[in-house]
Structure 1
Amino acid sequence: MTAPEPVINDVSPGLKGALTRYRVFAYIVGVGLLALCAGMILEYGFQQKQFVAIVAPAHGFLYVVYLVITVDLGLKVRWPIVKTGLILLAGMVPFVSFVAERKVTHELAPKVTSAG
């Protein structure tokens, strides 16, 4: 005879908002990184530096906001440091932030819906 699955009642009250913020910024940072990559192609392939001059600082600022939001979510969900670090690094590799966002959303969706 096995014990019943424990009910998760220790869900952080701000989890839904933290997850929503994370999802929005994961997409913003992912699109910004793709724009930065396109700008670097323009800069080094066609000597057009003006696009990178605008996109690079904006992406850098938004990435820092992504870091803060991801750490906030990690603290609310009580992720291990290594997992939080890997999700933080996801914003540095093109397309990986989209993959990480999907995995995090699928992992936390049951907790968010049970929190009401």
Structure 2
Amino acid sequence: MTKLFNVYRVLALVVGVLLVVGSLGSLMKYLLTEGSTLQQLGEHLGIIWMLHGFIYIVYVVVAFVLAQRARWSIPQLGLMLIAGLIPGLIFWVEHRVVVRLREDHPELARA
């Protein structure tokens, strides 16, 4: 079970970083002057959204399995899933999940 916990933590951080980078790329693409270097960089960062999508799907499955094993409620699972869609929120949620797992289910959260 330790493996699932560690996979969740890594996926949460990767999804969070991709979400922040993708959001910054979109802001550069749509808010900066057309043809500028940073605007073009924003266009090239569009691939980040595809990576985020694929990795987010894996994150959803792992979060679901982890929530099932911890016997958490649907709202807790919902918060875990929504956090992967709002830039920055996943870092706070990942921290809260780790703290809660270590308190309530130490057998699931051995690191």
Q: TM-score, normalised by structure 2?
A: 0.82
Aligned to 1:96: 89
How many Å separate the matches in 2 of 1:27 and 1:115?
16
The 8 Å contact of residues 101 and 108 in structure 2, kept in 1 or not, is answered as no
- Unpaired runs of at least 5, structure 2: 35-39
Q: Using a 3 Å threshold, how does the CA distance of structure 1 residues 101 and 114 change in structure 2: closer, same or farther? A: closer
Which residue identity does 1:32 align to in structure 2?
Answer: L
How many Å separate the matches in 2 of 1:106 and 1:95?
18
The one of 60, 67, 70 equivalent to 1:74 is: 67
Identity %: 34
Q: Using a 3 Å threshold, how does the CA distance of structure 1 residues 115 and 86 change in structure 2: closer, same or farther? A: closer
Larger Rg: 1
Q: Which runs of 4+ in 1 moved over 6 A?
A: none
Q: TM-score, normalised by structure 1?
A: 0.78
Look up the SS of the partner of 1:18 in the other structure.
helix
- Unpaired runs of at least 5, structure 1: 1-13
Q: CA deviation at 1:96?
A: 0.7
Q: Are 2:14 and 1:28 aligned? A: yes
Q: CA RMSD in A?
A: 1.8
